[in-house]
Amino acid sequence: MGMGTAPLSEQTFVNGIELKEDLAKLMSHYESPPDDVLKTGLIHFAAHPPEDTSFLVTHLWDKYLPRWREIKDMPKPPHDPEEEKRLVEEINRQTDCPELQPCNEQDIDKMDYATIRRMVYPKKGRWLRFSEEQIQRIAEKEKQKSEAATNEG
């Protein structure tokens, strides 16, 4: 492998050509699952690199997160839709609070808190990031927000 140690011990230099080749190899690897697996989204079927240590990405995970296989195989707590709904509602309550007003303060030390919101697109190229069901829920939520904003104005 064309990896070398960078000046800091917590960094690895990776040749750009080798990285691109490895990413293309990953693309080929992840195109092979059946459609029902692909529809679950990258977040589910590609949350970790392949076990195959010939992948550069796998080698880097082994170096910087050596317990990733152990963590990956740990039993996951049962999915609780009510808890997930409660968490989403709490996040929405905090971020959609009418008392929160944008300000022009540039010095973060003068602020009590800051909120950063980012929109993550459900698709990245030909890949679904999330399951089709999750994407549908996101779209419905955005539609509700848009309708609420239209009705307020």
Q: Over the stretch 93-134, which tens digit does the pLDDT of each residue have?
A: 777 676 667 778 788 888 877 777 777 788 888 788 888 888
Do 141 and 87 belong together in one domain?
yes
Do 67 and 117 belong together in one domain?
no
- The torsion of the CA quartet 138, 34, 51, 80, rounded to 10 degrees, works out to 40
Do 100 and 67 belong together in one domain?
no
- The torsion of the CA quartet 3, 28, 61, 19, rounded to 10 degrees, works out to 30
Last residue of one domain, picked from the residues 73, 92, 113? 73
Question: Which of 138, 123, 124, 129 is CA-nearest to residue 45?
Answer: 129
11: domain range?
Answer: 4-73
Last residue of one domain, picked from the residues 73, 95, 110? 73
pLDDT in tens, 23-46: 999 988 888 788 888 888 888 888
CA gap 130, 136 in Å, rounded: 10
Last residue of one domain, picked from the residues 40, 73, 106? 73
Q: Read off the tokens for 92.
A: 């929405």
Do 102 and 127 belong together in one domain?
yes
Number of domains in the chain: 2
Do 54 and 107 belong together in one domain?
no
Would you say the pTM of this structure is higher than 0.85? no
Q: What is the mean pLDDT of residues 63-90?
A: 86
Question: Which of 60, 52, 12 is CA-nearest to residue 28?
Answer: 52
